[in-house]
Amino acid sequence: MARPTKYKSEYCGIAKKMCELGATDTDVAEALDVNLATVNRWKLAHSDFCESLKAGKVPADQRVEASLYRKAVGYEIDNVKIFQFQGEPVEVPFREYIHPDTTAAIFWLKNRMPDKYRQNPEEKANPDALINALMAMADKLPG
């Protein structure tokens, strides 16, 4: 006779919230005090649990995707510098430009357009195409 399952329906909400905050299946398993294999079995046996994990991962993945994109193309943020004036601190707001990150741009291009920018030993990507794409991105940047 098999051991009774530890699964509870309230694990769906816990798993979803954890995944929204960036947790992996391993993190969920640790929080629920089970091993990863158990979580994987629950995903197969309980479609609501599986869907909760998937649904929770979407917002976290979207935040990372948006952050990678911003890092690849550059962005502006509001910032504050603090100076001393006549012995008193003075806050001066300013707009800071964060320059694009070449590595993020390459990662983005390789993953979003693998046919054009792949890097396989058997089939090399055209380095001129990658450089031209990066230069085109740089031309569109402000300032």
36-90, pLDDT tens digit by residue?
999 999 999 999 999 999 999 999 999 999 999 999 999 999 999 999 999 999 9
The answer to whether position 69 is within a domain reads no
pLDDT tens per residue across span 96-121: 999 999 999 998 888 888 888 877 64
Give me the domain span that covers residue 87.
74-139
Which residues touch 88 (CB under 8 Å, ≥6 apart)? Answer: none
Residue 22 located in a structural domain: yes
Q: How many domains does the chain have?
A: 2
pLDDT at 123 over 70: no
Q: Does residue 78 sit in the same domain as residue 135?
A: yes
Residue carrying the six token digits 């609501």 = 48
Domain check: are 78 and 53 in the same one?
A: no
Asked if the structure places residue 38 within a domain, the reply is yes
- Tell me if 62 is assigned to some domain: no
Q: Are residues 80 and 37 in the same domain?
A: no
Amino acid identity for residue 121 in this structure:
P
Q: Give residue 22's region: left, alpha or beta (phi > 0; psi -120 to 50).
A: left
Higher pLDDT, 126 or 90: 90
Assess whether 53 and 105 both reside in one domain: no
